[in-house]
Structure 1
Amino acid sequence: MARLRFSEEFLESLAGLDKRVEESVWKKLALVQGFPGVGSSLVEPSLRHAYGSACLKVVAEGYDVLYERGEKGNDGEEVVDVLGIVNQRAVR
């Protein structure tokens, strides 16, 4: 199981969401934690530019949750950096 590491941007964005969306985000991140490659690599170019070429996404209630698989830590545990949450309507 991977260790999740959260960016400040992600945490600030999460705090502004309603409870239903927040619950969906946590469910999706539980999947990512168990299977870090589960996300889609089909990320819009503007998001790739903002979050890096290696970012992946999972969808939660109309939001893209962006993350990147990190290197394994000293203990061999995989690290996943959760980068941000973006409303899908804002990207289009």
Structure 2
Amino acid sequence: MARLRFSEEFLESLARLDGRVEESVWEKLALVESFPGVGSSLVEPTLRRAYGPACLKVAAAGLDVLYERGERGADGVEVVDVLGIVSQRAVR
């Protein structure tokens, strides 16, 4: 199981979501926490430029949650940086 680390941008975006959508985001992040490679590497070029070439995404209620797999900590647990949330409509 990975350890999730949240960016300020992600937390600010999350705070603006309604409860149902926020719950969907947390459900997807639970999957990422258990299986860090579960996301798609098919990330739009504009998002790659904004979040880095190694970012992955998972879809949640019309949003893309962007994250990046990190290195293992001293305790051997993989760290996953949760980078941001973007509307799928805004990107397409």
TM-score (norm. length: structure 1): 0.99
The alignment partner of 2:75 has SS state of coil
Q: Is residue 29 from structure 1 mapped to residue 29 from structure 2 by the alignment? A: yes
Name the counterpart of 1:60: 60
Shift >4 Å, 4+ stretches: none
Q: CA RMSD in A?
A: 0.3
Q: How far apart are 1:88 and its partner, in Å? A: 0.5
The alignment partner of 2:20 has SS state of helix
Q: How far apart are 1:91 and its partner, in Å? A: 0.7
Q: Tell me the number of residue pairs that the alignment of Structure 1 and Structure 2 aligns.
A: 92
Q: How far apart are 1:59 and its partner, in Å? A: 0.1
The alignment partner of 1:84 has SS state of strand
Percent identical among aligned pairs is: 84
Structure 2 spans left out of the alignment, 5+ residues = none
Counting only pairs closer than 5 Å after superposition, residues 74-85 of structure 1 correspond to structure 2 as 74-85=74-85
Q: Deviation digits for residues 42-74 of structure 1, max 9, x if unmatched?
A: 000000000000000000000000000000001
Q: Distance in 1 between matches of 2:86 and 2:52?
A: 14
TM-score (norm. length: structure 2): 0.99
